[in-house]
Structure 1
């Protein structure tokens, strides 16, 4: 049952009820299950983060190191303008804040944190007075 949910996670997340199923599976399953979900969602995490139910799943993937590395790597690979749109979007801002916080907490993933900081820092002034004010505060705390 869980494997079927993981394999079809991308399709399920597009529906609010399907998203709840994926969230439930991520809560119940082990690290292997979470990692496999992250792999199956690879290349779609940024896109999913713009949407209410997708952002919940991406935030959940940021809670374990193995899947977090995959998600943050995707954030780093996207173009700066898309990352800025995500940081200023209604749901995406939560994903970016969580990505910054979890990578900042772990010394092992410091390179991911600093990668995000360097990518966002030139635009931190645009985040101050928008939905990205928490992101701007994190960026400014690194100076």
Structure 2
């Protein structure tokens, strides 16, 4: 790092021009270079620009140099931006994966969007979209592309995400990118993304991050998509309702699907072979409660008729007792099941 007295000496003349690379990597020096740019001399801008250009890949990833790079990009002509791309394109993914570099690349996206250079930027990132979506820095570059680039330039992101939807959506950062893609996509692109998620929904609902992506699609309330998601879960509801992540999606399906799909789910959940286990399960009992709360008559009576015989055994432990009390409070028609159960047992005993 430079002593402030040495910096002042360099900036007193044009001597600093020969040391731009090193000065830009110093906190105070970088600020002084930015002040020089603010003074508005074309000669000074061109001199600093050519020095930075020679080392722009390193400086874009530097804790201080990246700020100078961003300022230069903001002030550059389309021709000068072309020179930056000439230098940076081959390393653009590496820069995007760097904490400081990601900021510089986001600025590059902002300034390139109104120039003819968008296809070059896209070509530099195109093969690495999945890696970028999963990176704590790179995912911000992908998000900026979705926010800033013209709509026709988004297709490379949509394609990559749709082709690897399980890998991207099952990731802490990637799951957010998938949701942003759905927001940004229109027409066939949106259809492609939603379709890819629906086809993989059985896998995604069981994932800590993927389940949120499926819930996001359900929230769009697109009948065809919701029907496809429900179809992929039917036949497996007893297992999915007892898992932490997928049980949330089953509840969401019950709330958002069509009456016909809901009825199919209710009939499966009411199956006496698995209903008792669901009621006793830490996640499954919430699914049953959700199903009951959205089921209208006469199907509600059908469902409750399967719940009623299970209440005596449910009361055998503390958690089960609480669930039984909650159900009887909400559905008074279940009350008396204990007495009937006890009476039946006594009669059977007397008969023996």
- The interval holding the TM-score normalised by the smaller chain is 0.7 to 0.9
1:120 paired residue number:
307
Q: Name the counterpart of 2:109.
A: none
- Aligned-partner Cα distance in 1 for 2:260–2:224: 9
Q: Trace 1:76-91 onto structure 2 (pairs within 5 A).
A: 76-77=270-271, 79=273, 82-91=274-283
Distance 2:330 2:308 in 1: 10
Structure 2 distance, partners of 1:135, 1:52, is 22
Matched, 1:130 2:319: yes
TM-score, with normalisation over the residues of structure 1? 0.84
How far apart, in 2, do the equivalents of 1:5 and 1:69 lie?
24
Alpha-carbon contact 2:272-2:306 (below 8 Å) kept: no
Q: Partner residue of 1:73?
A: 267
Aligned length: 135
User: In the alignment, what sits opposite 2:206?
Assistant: 14
The equivalent of 1:34 in structure 2 is 226
Does the 8 Å contact 1:93/1:135 carry over to 2?
no
Match of residue 27 from structure 2: none
Task: Tell me by how many angstroms 1:39 deviates.
Answer: 0.9
Hey, what's the Cα distance between the residues in 1 that align with 2:252 and 2:261?
Answer: 9
Q: Which runs of 5+ in 2 are unaligned?
A: 1-192, 336-352
CA deviation digits over 1:112-139, x for unaligned, max 9? 2122211110121333442423234344
Determine the structure 2 residue equivalent to 1:5. Answer: 197
Q: What's the CA shift for 1:34?
A: 1.2
TM-score (norm 2): 0.36
Are the aligned partners of 1:6 and 1:36 in contact in 2 as well (CA < 8 Å)? yes
Q: Which has the larger radius of gyration?
A: 2
Separation in 2, partners of 1:31, 1:114:
27
State the shift of 1:6 in Å. Answer: 0.7
Q: Is the 8 A contact 1:96 1:135 kept in 2?
A: no
Question: SS of the residue aligned with 1:123?
Answer: helix
Unaligned stretches of 5+ residues in structure 1 = none
Which structure carries more relative contact order (alpha carbon 8 Å, separation 6+)? 1
